């Protein structure tokens, strides 16, 4: 990558040196790309390099393996949402999850569109009910894109596609209500909105977050368990309090 100009979403930023920062941006065609932003910790750049912001990035590197220099221009700011704890937690979590699990410079166009849609839903919805189901779907899609998708098409026990109500934690496959008889306590609830669409009620959304959280922990966050899962748990607890 000698030079690249692209739209992107800011996913993660960390300090580098006295004044600079390394930003990881999710791009539509090239996946996650890291770049060094000179003056990235300055007063003028901090509001630009916020997770969830849409930006135009210009990456330049002399060699393929070199960390690119990055110039960033703000396209759309979601900074006002960081004054609200629940939307801020949702943006932080979804962007941090993306940055922690995707390989650099591997295209994930479907995930880019889905993350952009999720961030837009968080911004547009007057309450968490408007975007919480989208968060569950995004986590489910990320698992699938990285090779850990759940099979929600038919019952793992009986082969039927009707009345699917659980997921096996061992096989990541759906189980019907009849197929689960006597083993319900060993299975994870499968919320209907993941099968039939819609936003789901709050009990279903919490079940959905429990479902995706189990497989994220098992398959993708094994070496980042403490920090990443603590951030997710804080988000889930805030969602529960919001509807209590």
pLDDT-derived band at 15 (thresholds 50, 70, 90) equals very high
Among 5-19, 129-143, 220-234, the range scoring the smallest mean pLDDT is 220-234
Residue 88 sits in the same domain as residue 148: yes
Specify whether 68 is located in the same domain as 134. no
- Domain with 66, as residue range(s), is 3-77
Whether residue 73 sits in one domain with residue 136? no
- Sign of the four-CA dihedral 143, 145, 150, 153: positive
Final residue before a domain boundary, out of 32, 59, 77: 77
Mean pLDDT of 152-159: 96
Number of domains in the chain: 2
Q: In this structure, is residue 17 part of a structural domain? A: yes
pLDDT of residue 2: 66
Domain containing residue 126: CATH number: 1.20.1440
Four-point Cα dihedral 96, 73, 27, 93, nearest 10: 10
Strand 31-37, strand 68-76: pairing:
parallel
* pLDDT tens sequence across 137-151: 999 999 999 999 999
Among 77, 99, 134, give the residue marking a domain's end. Answer: 77
Please tell me whether residues 142 and 223 are part of one structural domain.
yes
Is the model's pLDDT at 241 over the cut of 90? Answer: no
pLDDT at 31: 97
Residue 27 falls inside a structural domain: yes
With residues binned 3-state (H G I as helix, E B as strand, rest as coil), the percentages for the chain, rounded to 5, are 40, 25, 35
Same domain, 205 and 235: yes
DSSP, res 101 = H
């Amino acid at each position: 990558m000698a030079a690249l100009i692209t739209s992107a979403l800011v996913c993660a930023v960390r300090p580098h040196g006295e004044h600079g920062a390394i930003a990881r941006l999710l791009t539509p065609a090239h996946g996650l790309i890291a770049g060094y932003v000179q003056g990235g910790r300055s007063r003028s750049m901090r509001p630009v390099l916020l997770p969830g912001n849409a930006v135009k990035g210009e990456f330049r590197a002399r060699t393929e393996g070199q960390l690119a220099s990055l110039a960033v221009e703000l396209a759309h700011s979601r900074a006002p949402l960081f004054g609200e704890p629940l939307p801020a937690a949702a943006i932080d979590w979804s962007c941090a999850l993306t940055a922690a699990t995707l390989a650099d410079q591997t295209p994930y166009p479907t995930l880019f569109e889905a993350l952009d849609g999720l961030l837009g839903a968080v911004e547009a919805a007057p309450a968490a009910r408007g975007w919480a189901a989208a968060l569950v779907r995004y986590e489910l899609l990320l698992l699938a894109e990285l090779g850990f998708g759940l099979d929600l098409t038919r019952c793992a026990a009986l082969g039927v596609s009707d009345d699917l109500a659980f997921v096996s934690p061992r096989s990541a496959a759906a189980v019907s209500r009849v197929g689960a008889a006597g083993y319900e306590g060993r299975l994870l609830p499968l919320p209907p909105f993941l099968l039939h669409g819609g936003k789901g009620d709050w009990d279903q959304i919490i079940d959905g977050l429990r479902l995706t959280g189990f497989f994220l922990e098992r398959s993708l966050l094994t070496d980042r368990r403490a920090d990443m899962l603590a951030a997710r748990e804080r988000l889930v607890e805030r969602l529960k309090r919001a509807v209590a």
